[in-house]
Amino acid sequence: MKRLSSGTIGLGLLTAFVFVILYGPIFVPIISSFFTVKYGQVDWGNANLDSYQLLISNDGILTAVQNTLVVGVSAVVLGLILGCFLAMFYQFSQSRGRGFVQFIIFLPFLMPPIITGLALLIFFREIDFERSLVTVIIGHTVFVLALIYRTILVRLQALGMNMVEASYDLGASGWQTFRLIILPNLKSAMTGAAILAFALSFDETMITILVTGTDNTLPIRLWAMMRLGFTPDINALVTVILGFTTILVLVAARHLIPKEFTSREA
């Protein structure tokens, strides 16, 4: 047993303070969604769901949510296909330039989003590609690809070559080996990566604001509204999204973390 020294208590208090800093800004909209806030004072006696009712009838916001979902799902699906393909290419191919390819994949994740966003903006203009949700999807795919690629590659490397070689020795074709051996083993890594990538895409603001056309995703819509001040239904929306994000993160954690836990505790 470790006795609690005053140092440990001090550290604990400081940690608690940091958690307040981190979660404070998140609780403001949650509280405001249930209670009326006037002049910075919360009216605790009057809890209601009015803001949620307003939300259901706000078409502009709902369209933005829909756009965000379309972009997120498309980017994740594209990212998974590409990430899986590129990770397998890195792991199994003998090609000399695969390190270079990997470097390119990591670039949008290393560089600030403003660089990726501006590069794509200029690129789309030069190839005369109209900015729309499609360009947003491409931007998000490029952005989340590194994360998905890395997660899958780590799992592939942990998997080793034995099973793949065994599969080939038993006469399976490349496609059969992929479908029956590799893919099932990648499932949990892909699920975890997909959820994290979706969460990133859902909140991506800086690349999106540069490459989007007239269709807004939710963060861009919120950004535009923020200048005028938010209406109560925004708080309701944020609360719903936070709840949704928390569930997603917890699910992702279940897929990504258990292996770490067991290996660390063993």
Partner 1 sequence: MTTRIAGLPRETNQIGQTPWLLTALAYGLPVFFILIPLVSFLAYSFFWVKGTEVHYDLTLLNYIRIVTDEIYLPVLWRTCVLCLEVAALTILFGYPVAYFLAGLQGRKKYVLLMLLLVPLLMSYVIKIYAIRSILGGNGFLNRFLMATGLIQEPLTIFVFNLNAVLLALTALLIPFAVLPIFLSLERLPRNLLEASADLGASELQTFARVVLPLSLPGVIAAASFVFVLAIGDFLTPQMVGGNSGFTFGRIIYSQFGTAYNWPFGSALSVLLCVLVVIAIVIGGRFGNARGRA
Site for partner 1 in 29-88 (CB under 8 A): 29, 39-40, 82, 85-86
Q: Does 244 bind partner 1 (CB under 8 A)?
A: no
Stretch that binds partner 1, among 43-51, 57-65, 97-105, 186-194 (CB under 8 A): 97-105
Residue closer to partner 1 (CB basis): 62 or 206: 206
Q: Dig out the tokens for 173 from the structure.
A: 């074709």
Residues of 189-222 as b/e, b for ≥16 C-beta within 10 angstroms?
bbbbbbbbbbbbbbebeebbbbbbeebbbbbbbb
Could you tell me if 222 and 208 are in contact, meaning their C-beta atoms sit under 8 angstroms apart? no
* C-alpha span between 251 and 100 (Å, rounded): 33
Q: Angle at which helices 113-126 and 133-159 pack, to 10 degrees?
A: 120
Q: Does 115 bind partner 1 (CB under 8 A)?
A: yes
Piece in contact with partner 1 (CB under 8 A), picked from 46-54, 57-65, 168-176, 185-193:
168-176
Nearer to partner 1, 48 or 95 (CB): 95
Return the range that interacts with partner 1 (CB under 8 A); candidates 3-11, 46-54, 59-67, 129-137: 3-11
Task: Report, in Å, the least distance between residue 15 CB and partner 1.
Answer: 5
CA distance 243 to 232: 17
230 counts as binding partner 1 under rule CB under 8 A: yes
CA–CA gap between residue 224 and residue 208 (Å, rounded): 13
Task: Closer to partner 1 by CB, 4 or 47: give it.
Answer: 4
Burial label for 170, CB within 10 Å (0-12, 13-18, 19+), is exposed
Contact stretch for partner 1 (CB under 8 A) within 69-77, 128-136, 157-165, 185-193: 157-165
Contact pick of 152, 153, 164, 194 for partner 1 (by CB under 8 A): 164
